[in-house]
Structure 1
Amino acid sequence: MDILITGGTGFIGSRLTELLMDEGHDLTILTRSESKKENGIQYVQWLHKDSSPEREITPPNAVINLAGVSINDGSWSEAHQEKIYNSRMEATDELLRIMDALGKKPDVFVNASAVGIYPTSEMHVYTEESTEVAHDFLGKTVYDWEQKASKMKEYGTRVVYTRFGTVFGKGGGALPLIVLPYKLFAGGPIGSGQQWISWVHVEDVVRAISFAIQTPSLHGPVNVTAPAPVRMSDLGKAIGSVTHRPHWLPVPSIAMKIALGKKSKLVLEGQHVLPEKLNSSNFTFNYPAIRPALENILT
């Protein structure tokens, strides 16, 4: 299968590239760097004033859009929030322009998304059937991103919005932020400790994306979260146990807000999200439970 990827060199994208190569697909990655072919992958420059990627690429069977400034980086100042939002809108606009310029349209378009589209709640359980949308920065960003990507349906293309949970993995994602206090022997309950963390191992994220490409029945929102979300207090206890560090020093919400600013929302608030579509489609998680996932990443 010919697959076009944006954001193919990031935390998720680099691992997805490895998986898709192992599966025998032909990959083209849109990059801000100069066009080249390396290790069997075609890199094509885009988002540059002199680039015309539609002239260099073969019409793909599948498109995976992961482009955008990471929400785990930066301070979430007003300027940084603007970069997070605009990077997704601008990259998706350009990708839609490229698709429009190609004669043959892709069979499937997978657009990254996030469970941040759902309102935060300690009581409610969200599935793909949930229609509630959060009226905050993350909710607006994810909602607008999905709406923009939905334009691909006009071509008869199957569109999937992979709503990622809190992605855990080595060398990136949200876990380093949560684990750091434990490395300093200062780990403990964060905030109320009752907030839900709908987490997922990065290995299952990339496997779910590949699964979505190859499963015609999947369309619309697909929650990419492990089937067993945990409350923050239980996550902390598991981290302490796996790293052999104490879980004892409470971290008040105000301390997190001072240290992280608006980004503290990522650890102080959460949603209880279940991957009903993946479960009903017989997708198998390699890491359905939190302790084995942490053991794989932290040991």
Structure 2
Amino acid sequence: MHVVIAGGSGYVGGHLAQSLIDQHNQVTILTQSDISQVASRLEKKHKISSSASIITYDEYNGEGDVLINLAGESLGAKAITTRRLPVLLNSRLDVLDRLSQQMVLPPVFIQASAISLYNENTDEVQDESSPCTGSSDISNIAHKLEERARQLNEQFNFKRFYLARLGIVLSRDGGFIKKSSMTPPFTIIHGTNKIPFIEVHDAVNALQFLCQKEIPSGPVNLTSPKPATLKELLHCCYKHSRLPQIPIITGLLKLGDRRIQMLKANQTIMPTVLTSNGFVFHTQDINNVQ
């Protein structure tokens, strides 16, 4: 299988490329960055730079069996301010605009999106059949991204088309946990709200599952069937810290940084499409995240 990954040098993309190569698949990584720098980063983190083909969007000719789009500025890399919101959105839409200029694209297309699309403050259980009524700034980015991806689907009429809605991706070697290690450990006094998450290897396996399985097109939630509370999420992030977690109230969280919206949300999201089609999560409980 030939899998093309836009954003293949990022956190999830790098893990996905490594897993695909380990299973003897052909991998092409599309990038807007300097190719030598991308190759160096992939070699340092995943030892795969010589095993994957790394090309620019201008060099891409639409080849491949599956195209997975994970591209876009990282939501967790730094504070999401009013000024940074359009940067996050445009970095995602620009890639889809580039892909729309191709004559052909692979028959299977997977667009990464976010769980924030759903109602962000409810105790009700939600899944892929639930309305997308999220209204936060991060949710608005996901809404516009999915709208543009659907337009791409109308243009190319993909055989299979998936909107992979990810929860917070967790692993000890990067992502949310690594970013948290750069701040003093804290916990929230009233942190009982539910936060959807997925361990990075489950996310990778789920994306590969969509590549291989004849599942009907549509949204697919990539999130553990056992959501964590905010307290559990923060404990997971800081459990190896030598410093105790400082208890604070939610109101003290920095409101100018929209990443806080993800921590203040209350969502119980089920991955019904995955589990009903036989996918098995290996890390359902956040306490087992390695």
2:272 alignment counterpart = 276
SS in 2 for 1:124: strand
**Contact 2:126 / 2:268 at 8 angstroms: preserved in 1?**
yes
Query: Which ranges in structure 2 are unaligned for 5 or more consecutive residues?
Result: 40-48
Measured in 2, the distance between the counterparts of 1:282 and 1:125 equals 20
Max Rg structure? 1
CA deviation map 1:215-245 (0-9, x unaligned) = 1114211000011002112334556666676
**Contact 1:2 / 1:60 at 8 angstroms: preserved in 2?**
yes
Q: Once the 2 structures are TM-superposed, how far is the Cα of residue 106 of structure 1 from its aligned partner? A: 1.7
2:76 alignment counterpart = 72
**Contact 1:199 / 1:225 at 8 angstroms: preserved in 2?**
yes
Measured in 1, the distance between the counterparts of 2:173 and 2:235 equals 21
**What is the count of residue pairs matched by the alignment?**
277
Residue from 172, 175, 184 that aligns with 1:173: 175
1:16 alignment counterpart = 16
Residue from 40, 48, 69 that aligns with 2:51: 40
Measured in 1, the distance between the counterparts of 2:100 and 2:267 equals 31
SS in 2 for 1:16: helix
Change beyond 3 A, Cα 1:215–1:120? same
**Contact 2:170 / 2:198 at 8 angstroms: preserved in 1?**
yes
Change beyond 3 A, Cα 1:69–1:267? same
1:242-261 matches, within 5 Å, as 246=244, 249-257=246-254, 261=257
Measured in 1, the distance between the counterparts of 2:146 and 2:278 equals 25
2:229 alignment counterpart = 231
Q: What is the RMSD computed on CA atoms of the aligned residues?
A: 2.4
**When the two structures are superposed, what TM-score results if normalisation uses the length of structure 2?**
0.86
Change beyond 3 A, Cα 1:251–1:217? same
Change beyond 3 A, Cα 1:262–1:35? closer
1:97-116 matches, within 5 Å, as 97-98=101-102, 101-102=103-104, 105-116=105-116
Q: Once the 2 structures are TM-superposed, how far is the Cα of residue 146 of structure 1 from its aligned partner? A: 1.2
2:26 alignment counterpart = 26
Q: Which amino acid aligns with 1:254?
A: G
Change beyond 3 A, Cα 1:142–1:240? closer
